[in-house]
Every structure is written in structure tokens, then in C-alpha cells.
A and B are shown apart, each in its own frame.
Chain A
């Protein structure tokens, strides 16, 4: 075939024009989607009419009528559905937040162990990672639930120390009741944060000027404890304790850490730690060996070389997978429903069963989880950007 540039070009059909075809394709796609959703909406309205379900979020203000075993905010069955969902939401947040901290610490330790030159440590870390990653989380949750629950005595034979007691209903402690002026503690914390920023900055300047580092880390840590305590006592210790009272079926008053919470927390953090350990291992392995050799050549001890040279560089590789593990942990906390810890999905499920408002409840779930996701990944992106080398290209 010869190419002849002067040959008259064929008039192009509209069908061969990429732009036109693209527009047509998109129009068809959108039309199909619109038709699909229209049909869905018609079906749904039809179905809801036959089942006498009234759509809308009005049900949220009706009386809930069910109790929950664990709540951070005051709640009883007399409260409305919206409040029950709030209880679940806070429970999800609580278990996810503590779980993330525990999983990160454990994951970091296991990940470093995996890279250890000690053969036994490395092999045992590998065994831990493989076991945890290859057994379903739900099964691990069941196992933890049994392990947590089985050694605990019945509520009437509870182990009691002072006004704290431990039974299969959970760990019951006196509940602190904060009076007016308790905000002073928060004010103290804020003051400590502000002051510590200045102290740390001064410490860095001193180190750059003299080569010696004043013990500013210790000082800052001390401030974080001392200031809130000082401020709180300045306000005159506005706190009293609500002591639990033993009743026939357990305890009333006080606050109770239920075994479901412990089991869920253990399962989530131990499971996720395996994935975090893998991310840590991969991140550190990605830092070239020359870096730690250079650090050693400069006279840094292995621990310092890891902390000051290798980890900061590895962090940039670790953060993206770490973010997705945090999100996974938050989403996995919904497994609570299987052991009856009242998280967002569990309370939502109860409400769904009582009212039949499936679409509304699912919408609430989706909005909350998507928002949590956005917030977490937003924060981690910010943290990642902060840790990136400014405009430098990694070799």
C-alpha cells in the first residue's frame, strides 16, 4: 500500500468522528443510567406502598425502645432513634480510634521484628503475619470473644477490688461526673501544646547553635501531664464519682467496659497489625541500604540510625498503605454486629428491623462511613505532604 498525501481524502462520516462518537456514547450511558434509576425509584415506591412504609427521616424522632449494653453518652430506651444512632456512632469511633493506635504500635513492633537480624524474631514475626492475614477476621473475633469471656465469672461471683469489679458483664468502674469548671483541664492541655511548640523550637535552635540538645522532649512531655493537672486543681477538682451499686442482675450506675468491646478491640488491632507490619517491612526495605550504612559511618548507633535516618524516609512509602489499613479497621469495626457490640451498624440494624426504614438507615450508614473515610484520608494526605521532601527527587 502506498501512501499518497495528495490523494483526495474520503469525506469522513459523522460516525468516524471521535468527538461525536464520544458524545454519543456518553449520552447513551447517561440515558441508560437515568432509565435504570427511574425504574428503580418506581419499583421502590410501588413496593413501599404495598408494604405501608412511609419514606423519610421522620422515624428518627420516634421512641427507640431498645437498650444498648454500652454507651458513651447517656441513653435509655426512652430516647429516640436518632440518639440510638449517635450512641452507635460514638461506639464505632471509640473502638476504631483506640484500635488504630494499638494496631499501629503492634504493627510497627512486628514489622521491625520481621526485619530483625535475629533469625527467631524474624521467623516468628513472619508466622504471626501469615497466620493473621490468612484467617478471616470474623473467626478471629469469635475466638477472642470466647477467650475474653471464658475466664470471667458470673455477675454474682464478680471479682471485686474496691468499687471496681470484673465479671462476664464486663469491667465495672466508678464513673467520673464532671462538674462546672472541668473545661479547665482542656484549657491546661491547650496551654501545654502552645508552650511546648515554643520550647521545642528553642531547643532546636540551641542544638543548631551549640551542638548540644537541651532535654526539651522530656520537658514538653512533662508539661502535657502537669498543666492539665495544675489547671484542674486550680478549678478545685470539680469531679465526683458515681459508684456502681450491685443489683440482682449485675450493676447499676458506674460505667462498664463490656467484654464485647474488649474482644472487638483485640481482634481488630491484632488483625490489622499484621497488615501494618507488612507495610512497615515493605517501607523500610524500600529505603536503600546506603542510607543506613551512611548513618553507621557517621557514628550513629543502630537505634538512632533507624529512628533518625531510615524511618523518616520509610514513612513516605508506608503512609499510603497505612491509610488504607486505618480505613479498613474502621470499616471492619462493623463486624461488631456479630457479637452484639452496639456500634453504628449494629444499632442501625436493630432500628432497621424495628421500623423497616431500610433505605434511610442504609443512607445514613453510607454518608457516615464515606465522611469518616474522607476525613481519615484527608488527614493522612496532609500528613504525607508534610513528610515529603520539598521538591526533591528521590534517586
Chain B
């Protein structure tokens, strides 16, 4: 028998108050928690809207999309000058590399990407063989493919290389040379032999103390003085030598950080097992240290990739250099040409560097997970 004032069924659940849950709750919590924060949100929101609108307006709404010369972009209130980009883009990628031979840089980039992809995947097999290919075989293949002169490939002077091709060549060669050199220097800096240690420290600190621009100047004007008479490196090679030595000092510091993170017990255990010092370093300490340094090494590569732009001061035309040089072209002389060129350059650099920094973050997180005990 039921009692009139006793409920037999549960009261229906009411939805949580709108103020603390769902999108409105989220807004209140994160954007409008109090008056000052709300004010900040409004101010920043207006600023953001202004920026987004200006870029959109300039890059899309007021932009010129088709045309063959400056006339297309020189109208009153013109925005971005895209036809300039359409026409110049191949040159920005390849520089003055002969048009019929452009499959060669493409091949080099594709082979490099195919070789690099399994290296970047933590679970892919054959890392050692892969690394050997990338650090030894690939540079040789790439050099002969690009420079030509063998197997009936037409020789292409390095003065004709340019654009993104030069940026990639300089940055990749820089990293390939500076990695082993940096490892040697880092080991030298931690050596117990005073002469080895002093020489390493002097080398590292000297390069880290001076700006890259002076290093490039040095490479371009002093290197010819140092070399024996008759022997001469071309301009690009000299810049690469300077940049690699510069990067190796930073690389040494990144690797040293990794070496310091490997506990002393590892070395002691290796020695206790009867391995020689060299074997312990090579088989036990270095593999662990390098794994820890991967994020920093990627960071140095990003820095190197950005710093390649400085080869402009010794008149080598990398990606930024060739865009900058193209702005002088009177065929495209319009108010917004330069802005368009720089806009594209910024986006391209951002995509490359941001991608790499995301990868560094990914390995860092993976390391943090696997290292947790």
C-alpha cells in the first residue's frame, strides 16, 4: 500500500547548471572568470580579430590572382601579388639549376626523404644500417647527382644552385658534418686527458662566442688564404665549411648534455664487464647519450635551417636570398610584391621548422615515458 507522501520513483535528474558546464561553463571558466580577465579577453579578442581580418583581406580579398607582370598587381589598394609567386616559385625551389636537369634535385630530395622516414619512426627496424646509409652513402649519391660530371650526367656548377635546394643542401651537409665532429668534441670535453680537454673547450667556446655572420665572412675571405696555392674551394663549399664548424660547437654541447645524463654506473658496469674504455663509450654510453640528445639535436638542426639564411651576406642565394633578389625584378615592381614574397617565405620556413620542433617534442615525450621508472 502506498503512502501518499512517500515517493516511489526517483525524481528526474536535472541538467547541471548552464553556468558551470557545457560551452557556457567553459567560457565562464576560461575566458570570463572575473572582470579583469574578461576585459583582457575582449581586448585580445579584438586584436586577434583585427590581425586575422587584415591578413585575410590582404591575402585573399584584395589580392591579385592572375596576370603576367606588374600591371596585374599595381592597382590602387592592391593586396597580395600572387602571380609573382606563381611565376617565380620554380626558381625559388631550384635556383638557376638547368630546367632539363631539375629531376636530379627532385631525386635527391625524394631519396633523402625515403631514407629519413624510417629513421624518424621509433619502431622501424634497421636503424644502424639506415644511419650508415644516411650519413655515408647518401651524401655521396646526392653530391654526384647534383654536381654531375659522372655517368653521363651533365655537370652543374654550384653557382647555379639556389633557392630551397641550397637551403636544404647547406643545412643537411652542415648536420652530417657537425654530428660526428660534435660527438668527438663532446667526448673530448669530458676526457680525463688535459690537453684533449683544453683543445676541445677552446674550440667549442671560440665558435660559440662569435656571431655566425663573422664566421661566414671568415670562411669566405680567410679560408682562401689558409689553403695552399692552387687549391680553391668554391663559394658554397666555403660557406658550408664555416657553417659546419660553427654548428659542431653547438652540437658538442647538445651531445655533452646527453653524456652527462647517462649515469656513472653505466660506465662502471661496462668496465666491470671487462670492456675497454673505448668499447664502453661506444657500445654503452654513446647510444644512450645520443638517444637522450635527439630533441636537442633536432633543435640545432632547426637553428641551422634558419641560420642558412645568413649565407646571403656572402652572396649565396638560398631560399630567402633568391626571393629577396627576385624583388629587384622590374617586371614585378609593385607595392605589394615584396610583402607577398616575404609572406610566402615566412610560411615555408614556419612549416619546416614547426614540423621539426613538433617531432622533437614527440621524441622528448616518448623518452620521458620510457625513462620513467
Contact = CB atoms under 8 A, between A and B. Distances in A.
Interface in B236-289: none
A134 B209 contact: no
With most chain B CB atoms within 10 A of its CB, the pick from A22, A33, A118, A121 is A118
A117 B37 contact: yes
B302 to A, nearest CB: 8
Interface string A1-42: 000000000000000000000100110011001000000100
Nearest to A25: B193
- Contact residues on A (Cβ < 8 Å of other chain), bracket: 35 or more
Contacts of B339: 146
Nearest to A137: B306
A358 B309 contact: no
Interface stretch (A253-261, A285-293, A331-339): A331-339
B279 to A, nearest CB: 15
B229 interface: yes
A349 interface: yes
B124 interface: no
A139 B213 contact: no
B357 A134 contact: yes
Given A146-B338, A362-B218, A47 B313 contact: no
Nearest to A332: B211
Nearest to A45: B225
A359 B45 CA distance: 54
A135 B350 contact: yes
A130 B209 contact: no
Interface string B322-346: 0010000000000000110010011
Interface stretch (B11-19, B61-69, B81-89, B194-202): B194-202
Given A120-B45, A345-B213, A138 B229 contact: no
Interface stretch (A74-82, A222-230, A364-372): A364-372
Interface in A337-383: 337-338, 345, 349, 352, 358-359, 362, 365-366, 369-370, 373
Contacts of A118: 30-31, 33, 37, 40-41
Contact of A139 (B193, B221, B346): B346
B222 A124 contact: no
Interface string B296-317: 0000001000110110110000
A29 B33 contact: no
B222 A120 contact: no
Contacts of B225: 43-44, 47-48, 358-359
Interface in B32-91: 33, 37, 40-41, 44-45, 48
Given A365-B214, A366-B214, A120 B44 contact: yes
Given A146-B339, A338-B313, A366-B206, A124 B350 contact: no
A143 interface: yes
A47 B210 contact: no
Contacts of A119: 30-31
Contacts of A137: 306, 309
Contacts of B354: 130, 134
A334 B212 CA distance: 8
B168 interface: no
A365 B210 contact: yes
B5 interface: no
Nearest to A364: B214
A117 B30 contact: yes
B353 A135 contact: yes
Contacts of B209: 366, 369-370, 373
A359 B44 contact: no
B144 interface: no
The secondary-structure label for the interface of chain A is helix
A50 interface: yes
B227 interface: yes
Contacts of B345: 139
A47 B225 CA distance: 6
Contacts of B211: 331-334, 345, 369
B351 to A, nearest CB: 9
B213 to A, nearest CB: 4
A118 B213 CA distance: 41
A331 B214 CA distance: 10
Contacts of B37: 117-118
B320 A138 contact: yes
A196 B346 CA distance: 49
B197 to A, nearest CB: 10
Contact of A334 (B192, B214, B221, B342): B214
With most chain B CB atoms within 10 A of its CB, the pick from A25, A119, A134, A337 is A134
Interface string A124-146: 10000011011111110011001
B226 interface: yes
Contacts of A366: 206, 209-210, 214
A119 B44 CA distance: 11
B268 to A, nearest CB: 16
Contacts of B342: 139, 142-143, 146
Contacts of A142: 320, 324, 342
Contacts of B313: 337-338
A370 B229 contact: no
B17 to A, nearest CB: 21
Contacts of B138: none
Given A25-B193, A365-B210, A135 B349 contact: yes
A46 interface: yes
Contacts of B126: none
Contacts of B350: 131, 134-135
B346 A358 contact: no
Given A139-B309, A139-B320, A365-B214, A120 B31 contact: yes
A286 B306 CA distance: 29
A366 B221 CA distance: 15
Q: Which 8 A-B pairs have the closest CB atoms?
A: A134-B353, A26-B195, A119-B30, A331-B211, A334-B211, A136-B306, A358-B221, A334-B213
Interface of B: 30-31, 33, 37, 40-41, 44-45, 48, 192-196, 199, 206, 209-214, 217-218, 221-222, 224-229, 302, 306-307, 309-310, 312-313, 320, 324, 338-339, 342, 345-346, 349-350, 353-354, 357
9 contacts: A26-B194, A117-B37, A120-B41, A131-B350, A134-B357, A138-B312, A139-B342, A146-B339, A332-B211
Given A118-B37, A142-B342, A338-B313, 5 more contacts: A30-B195, A47-B229, A134-B306, A134-B349, A349-B217
